[in-house]
Amino acid sequence: MSNAWTNAVVLDARELHRLTGEIRRLRGVSARQRFALTVAAVVVVAASVACSLQSTRLTFATSEVREYRKTSVRANAALTALARSHEQILSATEHAPSVGTKSWGRRFTVTKYLPRSPRYGKVDDGLTSTLAKADPEARIIAVDPVLIPYGSWVWVEGLGWYQAEDCGAAIKGFRLDVLTATEDDAMSFGKQDRFVIVVPPDASVG
């Protein structure tokens, strides 16, 4: 029994109370630290998500800017081409032979053909429908005479002025065929859509 008391530890009640309070305080500090760490983790995750969303928005915005730039470039090119076309039309109108109240314009399908082409009749005599010499230097154009009278002046966008002196089996309605000197020129030109001004031979001035 005496040995048991020899190994006993005697605690002061006040010290025990102080230790109990310290333990409670440390537990509180630990809980606050855990809460702070949890909040910090949530903030980090939220910031990461926000950064990811911002990065996605920036990528999307950059892509949109590229598309807007491409659209702007295409629109500017189209407007430039349209402006040039209008300038050519205005210039042609100012210099048109006998431009008057009967003149008119619209878009035509334009092709090119060679002198003595078998497509324009069985008689290969080198003459046009009006019996003019089929000379490319004379700037002759084949028309549908029902729509465009022979002798009319015809301005073709990008090509200039020609005179309606010929026709062809395939040239009906809003079709035109420009007389050219070489097959290479006719083939490379192909079939194109061009704005055309027609000045009939009897167009009055003013």
Q: Kindly report, residue by residue over 2-29, the tens digit of the pLDDT.
A: 454 444 444 455 656 666 666 777 676 6
pLDDT one-digit tens code per residue, 96-148: 554 445 788 899 999 999 876 655 455 556 778 888 888 888 999 999 999 99
Q: Show the 3-state SS of 141-202.
A: EECCCCCCCCCCEEEECCCEEEEEEECCCCCCCCEEEEECCCHHHHHHHCCEEEEEEEECCC
Any domain includes 107: yes
Regarding whether 108 and 83 lie in a shared domain, the answer is no
Regarding whether 144 and 113 lie in a shared domain, the answer is yes
- Of 67, 94, 121, the position where a domain reaches its end is 94
- Of 77, 94, 111, the position where a domain reaches its end is 94
| CATH assignment at residue 141 | 2.40.40.10
Regarding whether 65 and 110 lie in a shared domain, the answer is no
Is the model's pLDDT at 94 over the cut of 70?
Answer: no
Q: Which residues span the domain enclosing 125?
A: 100-199
- The least confident of 48-52, 121-125, 161-165 is 121-125
Regarding whether 88 and 125 lie in a shared domain, the answer is no
d(CA 121, CA 136): 18
pTM, rounded to two decimals:
0.53
